[in-house]
Amino acid sequence: MEWQALIQAQPALAHVPSGLQAVAKRRKTQAGEPLFRQGERPRRVFFVCADEVRLLRRARNGAEIILQRSRGGYLAEASLGAKSYHCDAVTTETAVVLCFPIRVFLEALHEDSTFQQVWATHLAHEVRRLRAQCERLNLKGASDRIIHYVEAEGVDGSVTLHRSRKAWARELGLTHEALYRTLRRMKAEGTLHVGMDRISIARK
Amino acid sequence: MEWQALIQAQPALAHVPSGLQAVAKRRKTQAGEPLFRQGERPRRVFFVCADEVRLLRRARNGAEIILQRSRGGYLAEASLGAKSYHCDAVTTETAVVLCFPIRVFLEALHEDSTFQQVWATHLAHEVRRLRAQCERLNLKGASDRIIHYVEAEGVDGSVTLHRSRKAWARELGLTHEALYRTLRRMKAEGTLHVGMDRISIARK
DNA sequence: CGTACTTTTGAATCGCATCAAATCTGGTGG
DNA sequence: CCACCAGATTTGATGCGATTCAAAAGTACG
């Protein structure tokens, strides 16, 4: 497995100890293939490299309750101390994931204090990011969410978008139509500077 | 400081090593008092015991960007590895917080492997909870959010609410009016069983 | 008993989702 | 090179549902 390229594409994989790298396995899944099921004893930790994996529960009324949609990053971090998975993990498309045996992962955390610290830092950053996103999603107006995103995720009132606007819209909890329209309006109002992939808030 | 009572009220404070307990200080703040400011070097980690503390940034256009509203729990976990705070922390009312010196906190994490593990587990659970909440807030309908909440936060299609419905509405990203109305409608439809503080989803 | 807050219901408004469709883009293969 | 296709981008018209404003009744607490 070519870890150089992996880390290049996924910075969150940096600092994974070599012993853990050695036992990690890449896996390409079929669409709808389950990675694990609710109630099973956790045996692996996953990292989503491409496409999408969903954590979900089946509600009593038949509905699918999506707990998380992951398109990159660690999956089910909480399964590291848990006795059993508390939800299902299924791929919506052909997904590419890394599989780490939980036992080795825990050993690595326990023995490698650097990795331990990197892991805690990773989790803390994730917590911060998610809390900001929750606050953002609590805003009702589309323009409020856009401004919040730029101020919270960007630097000095300016962000670079690395993905399509459609994907951005989904992260903002808006339809792409609403995002396009609001961007146009804010640009016209002079509230926002909109470049190809650079969005800035007009100062005052 | 009576830690027994504290842990009783705030389970997240369990497993804090005695050495760290010893140097923690309780602090009652005035309304609007800043705990720290953006750019400062982190010196303390905080735990909100009562009332509310907000993390925010000042946007260039003058708006206050709320990154997090905390009404209980650790605050600014990410400041543990950071060179500087990346936002302001201000109290909206008279708040009660615990202050831990960061240096001692880091030492405790480094030397006490149990605490280290408890901390990582705490962060992982927080990540899981927050991801579920983000998915929930992406749902457009009020009833969808209610069902999602019950299935994700409850057990076997049933939750016990420990706070007022008004507070619940805010967590769901709804006005309290919308929540009351939707609960009434779902109860009438037979979708939901609504008790005093117990909400259950009708099975099929 | 009065005050502050939650709970509950009503009516009107507004903004986003939805449906629809045209244009533009990058990539694939003939 | 051009034809073609899938996906992103952009704009329009419509409807629904949550917000907003308003107000009344219930509840906890000193």
- Summarised one tens digit per residue, pLDDT across range A72-112 is 899 989 999 899 999 999 998 788 999 999 999 999 999 99
Residue A127 contacts B, CB cutoff 8 Å: yes
User: With an 8 Å Cβ cutoff, are B81 and A123 in contact?
Assistant: no
Q: How far is B201 from chain A (nearest CA, A)?
A: 7
Number of residues written out for chain B: 204
Contacts of B80 in chain A (CB under 8 A): 120-121, 124
Buried/exposed code over B40-71 (b: 16+ C-beta within 10 A; e: otherwise) = eebebbbbbbebebbbbbebbeeeebbbbbbb
- What chain B residue is nearest to A202 in terms of C-alpha separation? B61
B192 forms bridges with which residues in the sheet?
Answer: B201
- For residue range A10-51, what is the model confidence (pLDDT) as tens digits? 889 999 999 999 999 999 888 788 999 999 999 999 999 988
> How far, CA to CA in Å, does B156 sit from each of A59, A60, B130, B172, B199?
9, 8, 20, 20, 11
Closest-CA distance, B28 to chain A, in angstroms, reads: 24
| Nearest nt by C1' to A144 Cα | C15
A61, A137, A156 ranked by CB distance to B137: nearest: A137
- B119 vs A contacts (CB less than 8 Å): 120
Q: Which residue of B has its CA nearest to A62?
A: B204
DSSP, collapsed to helix, strand or coil, labels residue B161 as coil
> Hey, what are A109's tokens?
């955390």
For the entire predicted model, the pTM comes to: 0.93
Three-class secondary structure assignment of chain A:
CCHHHHHHHCHHHCCCCHHHHHHCEEEECCCCCEEECCCCCCCEEEEEEECCEEEEEECCCCCEEEEEEECCEEECHHHHCCCCCCCEEEECCCCEEEEEEHHHHHHHHHHCHHHHHHHHHHHHHHHHHHHHHHHHHCCCCHHHHHHHHHHHHCCCCEEECCCCHHHHHHHHCCCHHHHHHHHHHHHHHCCEEECCCEEEECCC
* Amino acid letter, residue A29: T
With beta carbons under 8 A apart, name residues in chain B contacting A148. Answer: 65
Side-chain half-sphere exposure of B142, counting CA atoms within 13 A: 16
pLDDT at B150: 96
Given this model, what pLDDT does residue A190 score? 93
Q: Which nucleotides of C are covered by protein (CB under 7 A)?
A: 5-11, 15-20
CB B70 within 8 A of CB B27: no
Summarised one tens digit per residue, pLDDT across range B36-89 is 999 999 999 999 998 889 999 988 777 889 999 999 899 989 999 899 999 999
Please report the pLDDT score of residue B198 as a whole number.
Answer: 94
Task: Say whether pLDDT at B6 is over 90.
Answer: no
Instruction: Calculate what percentage of chain A has a pLDDT beyond 90.
Output: 77
Q: Residue A148: which residues within 8 A CB-CB, separation 6 or more?
A: A132, A135, A136, A139, B65
Interchain proximity A132–B67, CB inside 8 Å: yes
Q: How confident is the model at residue A204 (pLDDT cuts 50, 70, 90)?
A: low
Predicted confidence at residue B100, as pLDDT, reads 96
- A8 touches A49 (CB < 8 A): no
Between chains, do B135 and A77 touch, taking CB under 8 Å as contact? no
User: How does A20-46 read in b/e, with b if 16+ C-beta sit within 10 Å?
Assistant: bbeebeebebeeeeebbeeeeebebbb
Task: Mark which residues 40-99 of B lie under 8 Å from A by CB.
Answer: 57, 59-63, 65-69, 76-78, 80-81
Q: Exposed, middle or buried: residue A151 (CB in 10 Å: 0-12, 13-18, 19+)?
A: buried
User: What residue has token string 């940096």?
Assistant: A14
The rounded distance, in Å, linking the Cα atoms of A35 and A97 is 10
C1' of nucleotide D10: residue with nearest CA: A180
pLDDT for the residue numbered B36: 96
pLDDT of A66 above 80: yes
